[in-house]
């Protein structure tokens, strides 16, 4: 089964991808290869995940053609000065053993480095053919506006934490206003949504699990989702979200689960950008 594709500023991105944070070594290689064999066509990695080598190995071992898979990597906060950014990008490609990635992201903003300089470097990486598309991650609404104004190449994605416990309407609206797609990371709230009573009850009507309801909710909100799992059966479970529809009342009920302390990823080390 092939997943729907989300189009954004010239990019075509599979609506579901495999997240790989915290998957390392043989486990990472096994899970990524299994995912590709099961039909995943979008893999999310990053230089700080320390698993790009295994992601590249798994891609080659899977037998799936390179041009059929959408590969994202991200450059860490410490490498956003232009020279560092370019060096880090090339090192990602060496570890992946690829000539380019489909999407190159700024992993987190860094207020100590002028955004214009980082974006300049990222646009050069795209022009040089090292990345087919570029984008950002963990950017707030005002930062998305700034980034779009400064970039000389189109940005296609803002990757942010998003799941039923977090109201992201403000940043989602700002991101979409510029034609970027939103990728939802931690889309099952690091596993928390899979135990949620409301999501379970809704799932009973559709013969789906609470985890699948969380993912389907985001897909119906127009997001790209990148759930991570180390388990084969959950790879299949997380993909089986395109054969049913939540109705308006169910969507509203899920939206009500959002609350101000709903984040599962720690932002405490980040400056207050709003």
Ligand X SMILES: NC(=O)c1ccc[n+]([C@@H]2O[C@H](COP(=O)([O-])OP(=O)(O)OC[C@H]3O[C@@H](n4cnc5c(N)ncnc54)[C@H](OP(=O)(O)O)[C@@H]3O)[C@@H](O)[C@H]2O)c1
Q: Are 131 and 106 in contact (CB under 8 A)?
A: no
Least Å distance between CB 152 and ligand X?
23
CB nearer to ligand X: pick between 154 and 187:
187
Q: Are 235 and 40 in contact (CB under 8 A)?
A: yes
The footprint of ligand X (CB under 6 A) covers 19-21, 44, 107, 137-138, 159, 185-191, 194, 211, 226-231, 234, 237-238, 265
Q: DSSP code of 3?
A: P
Separation between Cα atoms, residue 274 and residue 259, nearest integer Å:
18
106 backbone dihedrals φ, ψ, rounded to 5°? -75, 120
Least Å distance between CB 154 and ligand X?
20
- Residue 49 appears among annotated catalytic residues: yes
Least Å distance between CB 19 and ligand X?
2
CB nearer to ligand X: pick between 243 and 248:
243
CB nearer to ligand X: pick between 126 and 163:
163
CB nearer to ligand X: pick between 126 and 208:
208
Least Å distance between CB 39 and ligand X?
16
The per-residue DSSP string of 105-171 comes to EE-S--TTS-HHHHHHHHHHHHHTTSEEEEEEES--HHHHHHHHHH-SS-EEEEEEE-STT---HHH
How many other β-carbons are positioned within 10 Å of the β-carbon of residue 182? 23
Q: Catalytic residues, which ones? A: 49
């Amino acid at each position: 089964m092939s997943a729907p594709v989300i189009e954004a500023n010239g990019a075509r991105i599979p609506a579901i991808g495999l997240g790989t944070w915290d998957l390392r070594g043989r486990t990472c290689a096994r899970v990524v290869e299994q995912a590709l064999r099961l039909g995943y066509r979008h893999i999310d990695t990053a230089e700080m995940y320390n698993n790009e080598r295994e992601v590249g190995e798994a891609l080659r071992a899977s037998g799936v053609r390179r041009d059929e898979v959408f590969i994202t990597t991200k450059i860490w906060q410490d490498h956003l000065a232009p020279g560092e950014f370019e060096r880090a990008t090339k090192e990602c490609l060496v570890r992946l053993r690829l000539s380019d990635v489909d999407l190159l992201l700024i992993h987190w903003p860094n207020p100590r480095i002028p955004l214009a300089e980082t974006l300049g470097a990222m646009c050069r990486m795209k022009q040089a053919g090292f990345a087919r598309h570029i984008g950002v991650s963990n950017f707030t609404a005002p930062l998305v506006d700034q980034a779009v104004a400064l970039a000389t190449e189109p940005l296609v994605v803002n990757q942010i934490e998003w799941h039923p416990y977090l109201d992201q309407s403000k940043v989602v609206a700002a991101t979409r206003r510029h034609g970027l797609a939103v990728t939802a990371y931690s889309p099952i709230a690091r596993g928390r949504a899979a135990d949620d009573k409301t999501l379970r009850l809704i799932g009973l009507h559709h013969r789906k699990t609470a985890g699948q309801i969380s993912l389907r909710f985001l897909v119906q909100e127009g997001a790209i989702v990148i759930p991570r799992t180390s388990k084969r059966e959950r790879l299949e479970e997380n993909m089986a979200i395109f054969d049913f529809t939540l109705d308006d009342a169910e969507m509203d009920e899920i939206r009500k689960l959002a609350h101000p302390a709903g984040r599962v990823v720690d932002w405490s080390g980040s400056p207050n950008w709003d």
